[in-house]
Structure formats: structure tokens, C-alpha cells
């Protein structure tokens, strides 16, 4: 089949929940992807902030292959060694005390929501608690996560959602304070808002949230699904601030491509929350994903990924700032580390589509932001290559 035939097939078979870019990706190598016609693309999306080590990373692939030959799945009724290793590394990197493995980001959020509700239930001896979440937040598509996702058009067709969710403005501490009631059990926030348009938390805001949570014995839950795992130059973005969450979620680059997420918590949160019978998953933390997560942490350390991100991110910022300077319709840049956004006053979807024609894979966030979440292994030369391609795209738009 040729590309058009593949695309026609897909449109007949797959439920139409995505408007896909017209490209059929077939294989990858380093930070490049190749389509079925053999066309080469520089990847600045990493499968939505997932493929931190790009493609064809030998140690990672070898570890997965070796685990496949041993055992892929056993269930959570038994212990398995890869997940014990993965847990040890995730807890060491985060300073958390307990971890529960899930199969996706949205499930990590579901688990965190249940843990927060259970914590307050144990504390107060009754149910009926509320969660505070942020406008423009994105936490996933399952009904619980959707209930705390602060974008009306994602929610509306699926109402009624989980009751007892109150929304506040991100980076506006007073708006959060206004939503606190006696029933509040947790405040959920992304440390850097992703889908909502790449907004890093301001220091006073996130540190203020920590303070509010301490004062009221409310749990602070940070969603690190997109901004975690080294993307911002720290293993977890909250580590840039003088805070430590009670619960945090992880997914996307956590397994670098195998479907795995997690929610992690402190002993204080764990003591009063989920116990046998409260929560479970058939696949979660199986030997295959355990091997992946474990190898990802090993590689992060071995390749000094955090230092690398800290070094290459300012270079990316500089390249993007130059585009802000040069083009009137590019109004701003914001972000943290290798999670950056450019605000455009022209349709961003069109810009991303034109970039694809130029051999650059890039995605959008919100309605007006071009999002840069490349593999963490990109070099400065790749930044140059990206900037050159984007410059061509922008020149076409301007013309
Ligand atoms: C992607 C994402 C999720 C949802 O993860 P899925 O694996 O798609 O369910 C939740 N929170 C944030 C911040 C995300 O970026």
C-alpha cells in the first residue's frame, strides 16, 4: 500500500477521535523519524513528550527484548523483580515513599484522586470531599481525570462528571484560596501546564499552594506526566521550587514508549489512603514496563540527561526568542527546559502542518501555541536545524 491507501484505510477503521497529520510514520533513528515513503523528519514532538531518548536506543531496546524473552506479564497477585527495581529508582529520584504503577497518565490521575479522597475520608471519618483543580489544566480523558480538566469543551458532552470539583486560576493564589472549603481534600496542578499552553508555575504560586495545603491538611498533588522525567532540567519539575508534593503523577517519558504511568506519594499520604481492596490494575507495573522504567532511569543517569537538558535548553530558548524577534505574528515564548511554547497570532495547526512538509514534526498546545517537546537527547545542531526549518515555514506564513 502507498501512503494515501494507508491513510484511507485508517480513516475507515479507526474511530475518528483524532484529526491526524497526513503522514504514516514507519521507523525512527536518533531524533529522526521516517515515513513509509522514506521521507525524513526531525522530531520535536517525541510522541508528545514521551520518547526522551529518541528512537533505536540500543540499551533500552536490548533491555526490553531481554525482558520479553523472560516474562512479559504476571499480574499484581505476585511479586516481580523488574518492577521492584523500577520502584526503587523512581522513589529515589522523587524523594517519595510509595508508588503505584498504572498503564497511562489518566489512570495515574484517577489513582491520585482516589488516594486524596481516601486520605480525607480516613482523616474525617466520612466521605463527601472536594478537589480544587486549575482552569486550562489537562489531566486526561477518563471520567475522573476529565472532571478536573479545566477546559469546558472537553467536559460538556460527558456530564454529569464527578461532583465536588472547584476550579481556580493557575498562577493566581487568591483564586485558589477562594475555593477552599471544609470539604477540600486536595489541590491538583500541573507543575508546568502542558496542553493548556505551556505555562510554568510561578514560584509564589506553587510555594503558596504548599503553604495552604499545610495549613489545612490538604494534599498537594502535582501532575508531572508531561513536565517530569528530566524534561525541564530537573527529574521532576517541582524540584525547581521549594516545595514537595504529597502525591505526584508520572507517565509519558516514564517508560519512553511502553504504556506506563504511576502515582507516587509520601508516607504521610500513604498511611491514611489506599489499602488492599481500594485500588488495582491487571497490567500495572508488569515485568515488561518495569524493565522499561528501570532502564529509563539508568540511562538518565548514565547519559547525564539533566545536565544535558540544562545545557541545550537555553540554546533552544535563544533560537525561539530570535523567531519572536523576527516575526510580528510570533508574539511570545514561554516554558521551562525542553518544554517550550511559541505563541502565534495565526492558526497554529496550519503552521504545524507546513512544518511537516518541511520535514519537521512539531505539535500544538491550546489554540495558539506551537509546542516544543523534543527528545531530551537533542543536540544544539538539531536546534539549529529546527530553527532553520521553522524560519522557512514562518517566512511562508508571512508572505
Ligand atoms: C498527557 C497528559 C495526561 C494524560 O496522560 P495519558 O497517558 O494520555 O492518559 C495527564 N496529564 C498531563 C499533564 C498530560 O500531559
Residue 174 lies in domain: 71-302
Contact 251 CB / ligand 1 (< 6 Å): yes
Q: Is residue 204 part of a domain?
A: yes
CA-to-CA distance for 215 and 136, rounded, in angstroms? 26
Residue 291 has a pLDDT of: 98
Asked whether residue 258 falls in the same domain as residue 314, the answer is no
Contact 110 CB / ligand 1 (< 6 Å): no
Substitution site in 222, 247, 251 for ligand 1 pocket (most atoms within 8 Å of beta carbon): 251
Residue 158 has a pLDDT of: 96
Q: Is residue 66 part of a domain?
A: no
* Pairing verdict, β 369-372 and 339-344: antiparallel
pLDDT tens per residue across span 217-262 = 999 999 999 999 999 999 999 999 999 999 999 999 999 999 999 9
Q: Quote the ligand 1 centre to 140 CA distance (angstroms).
A: 5
Q: Quote the ligand 1 centre to 397 CA distance (angstroms).
A: 31
Q: Using CB atoms within 10 A of its CB, is residue 244 exposed (0-12), middle (13-18) or buried (19+)?
A: middle
CA-to-CA distance for 129 and 131, rounded, in angstroms? 7
Ligand 1 nearest-atom number relative to CA 137 = 13
Instruction: With CA atoms as reference, report the closest residue to 116 among 97, 101, 130.
Output: 130
Q: Quote the ligand 1 centre to 353 CA distance (angstroms).
A: 23
* The three cell numbers locating residue 271: 498511611
Q: Is residue 261 part of a domain?
A: yes
Residue 107 has a pLDDT of: 98
CA-to-CA distance for 111 and 90, rounded, in angstroms? 17
Mean of per-residue pLDDT scores for the chain: 97
DSSP 258: B
pLDDT confidence bin for 38, thresholds 50/70/90: very high
pTM of the model: 0.98
- Whether the link from the prior residue into 160 is cis, omega within 30° of 0, is yes
| Total domains in the fold of the chain | 2
Q: Quote the ligand 1 centre to 225 CA distance (angstroms).
A: 6
Contact 363 CB / ligand 1 (< 6 Å): no
Domain boundary among 302, 333, 351: 302
Q: Quote the ligand 1 centre to 270 CA distance (angstroms).
A: 23
Q: What is the mean pLDDT of residues 42-53?
A: 98
- For the chain, percent of residues with pLDDT exceeding 70: 100
Asked whether residue 239 falls in the same domain as residue 349, the answer is no
Q: Quote the ligand 1 centre to 254 CA distance (angstroms).
A: 12
pLDDT confidence bin for 18, thresholds 50/70/90: very high
Residue stretches of the annotated binding site for pyridoxal 5'-phosphate = 105-106, 138, 223-226, 282
CA-to-CA distance for 81 and 311, rounded, in angstroms? 35
Asked whether residue 298 falls in the same domain as residue 314, the answer is no
Residue 155 has a pLDDT of: 92
Taking 90 as the threshold, does the pLDDT of residue 152 lie above it?
Answer: no
Asked whether residue 23 falls in the same domain as residue 132, the answer is no
Coil/strand/helix, residue 199: strand
Asked whether residue 264 falls in the same domain as residue 340, the answer is no
Domain boundary among 285, 302, 319: 302
Contact 196 CB / ligand 1 (< 6 Å): no
pLDDT tens per residue across span 85-143 = 999 999 999 999 999 999 999 999 999 999 999 999 999 999 999 999 999 999 999 99
Contact 106 CB / ligand 1 (< 6 Å): yes
CA-to-CA distance for 368 and 311, rounded, in angstroms? 28
Contact 180 CB / ligand 1 (< 6 Å): no
Asked whether residue 287 falls in the same domain as residue 157, the answer is yes
Q: Is residue 392 part of a domain?
A: yes
CA-to-CA distance for 212 and 391, rounded, in angstroms? 45
Domain boundary among 302, 327, 347: 302
Asked whether residue 222 falls in the same domain as residue 371, the answer is no
With a CB cutoff of 8 Å and minimum separation 6, the contacts of 222 are 189, 190, 191, 236, 237, 238, 245, 247, 248, 249
* Pairing verdict, β 25-29 and 192-193: unpaired
Ligand 1 nearest-atom number relative to CA 141 = 9
With a CB cutoff of 8 Å and minimum separation 6, the contacts of 276 are none
Taking 90 as the threshold, does the pLDDT of residue 28 lie above it?
Answer: yes
Asked whether residue 207 falls in the same domain as residue 325, the answer is no
Q: What is the CATH number of the domain that holds 316?
A: 3.90.1150.10
pLDDT tens per residue across span 336-394 = 999 999 999 999 999 999 999 999 999 999 899 999 999 999 999 999 999 999 999 99
Q: Is residue 279 part of a domain?
A: yes
Amino acid at each position: 500500500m502507498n501512503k494515501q491507501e494507508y491513510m484511507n484505510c485508517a480513516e475507515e477503521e479507526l474511530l475518528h477521535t483524532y484529526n491526524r497529520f497526513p503522514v504514516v510514520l514507519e521507523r525512527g533513528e536518533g531524533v529522526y523519524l521516517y515515513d513509509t515513503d522514506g521521507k525524513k523528519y526531525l522530531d520535536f514532538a517525541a510522541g508528545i513528550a514521551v520518547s526522551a531518548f529518541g528512537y533505536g536506543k540500543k540499551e533500552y531496546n536490548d533491555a526490553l527484548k531481554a525482558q520479553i524473552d523472560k516474562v512479559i506479564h504476571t499480574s499484581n497477585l505476585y511479586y516481580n523483580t523488574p518492577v521492584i527495581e523500577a520502584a526503587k529508582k523512581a522513589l529515589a529520584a522523587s524523594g517519595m515513599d510509595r508508588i503505584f504503577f498504572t498503564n497511562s497518565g489518566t489512570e495515574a490521575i484517577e489513582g491520585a484522586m482516589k488516594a486524596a479522597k481516601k486520605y480525607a475520608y480516613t482523616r474525617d471519618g466520612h466521605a463527601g470531599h472536594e478537589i480544587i483543580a486549575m482552569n486550562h489544566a489537562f489531566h486526561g480523558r477518563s471520567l475522573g481525570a476529565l472532571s478536573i480538566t479545566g477546559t469546558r469543551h472537553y467536559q460538556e458532552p460527558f456530564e454529569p462528571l464527578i461532583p465536588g470539583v472547584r476550579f481556580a486560576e493557575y498562577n493566581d493564589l487568591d483564586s485558589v484560596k477562594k475555593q477552599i472549603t471544609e470539604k477540600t481534600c486536595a489541590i491538583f496542578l500541573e507543575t508546568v501546564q502542558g496542553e493548556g499552553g505551556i505555562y510554568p508555575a510561578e514560584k509564589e504560586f506553587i510555594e503558596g499552594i504548599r503553604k495552604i495545603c499545610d495549613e489545612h491538611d490538604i494534599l498537594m498533588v502535582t501532575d508531572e506526566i508531561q513536565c517530569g522525567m528530566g524534561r525541564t532540567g530537573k527529574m521532576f519539575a517541582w524540584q525547581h521550587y521549594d516545595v514537595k508534593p504529597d502525591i505526584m503523577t508520572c507517565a509519558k517519558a516514564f517508560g519512553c514508549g511502553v504504556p506506563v504511568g504511576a502515582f507516587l506519594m509520601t508516607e504521610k499520604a500513604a498511611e491514611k489512603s489506599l489499602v488492599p481492596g481500594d485500588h488495582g490494575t491487571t497490567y500495572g507495573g508488569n515485568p515488561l514496563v518495569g524493565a522499561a522504567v528501570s532502564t529509563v532511569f539508568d540511562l538518565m543517569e548514565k547519559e547525564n540527561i539533566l545536565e544535558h537538558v540544562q545545557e541545550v535548553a537555553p540554546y533552544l530558548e535563544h533560537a525561539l526568542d530570535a523567531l519572536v524577534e523576527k516575526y510580528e505574528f510570533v508574539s511570545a515564548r514561554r516554558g521551562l527546559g525542553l518544554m517550550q511554547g511559541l505563541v502565534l497570532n495565526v492558526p497554529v495547526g496550519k503552521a504545524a502542518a507546513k512544518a511537516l512538509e518541511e520535514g519537521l514534526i512539531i505539535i500544538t498546545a491550546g489554540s495558539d501555541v506551537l509546542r516544543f517537546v523534543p527528545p531530551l537527547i537533542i543536540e544544539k545542531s538539531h536546534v539549529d536545524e529546527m530553527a532553520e526549518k521553522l524560519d522557512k515555514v514562518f517566512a511562508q506564513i508571512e508572505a
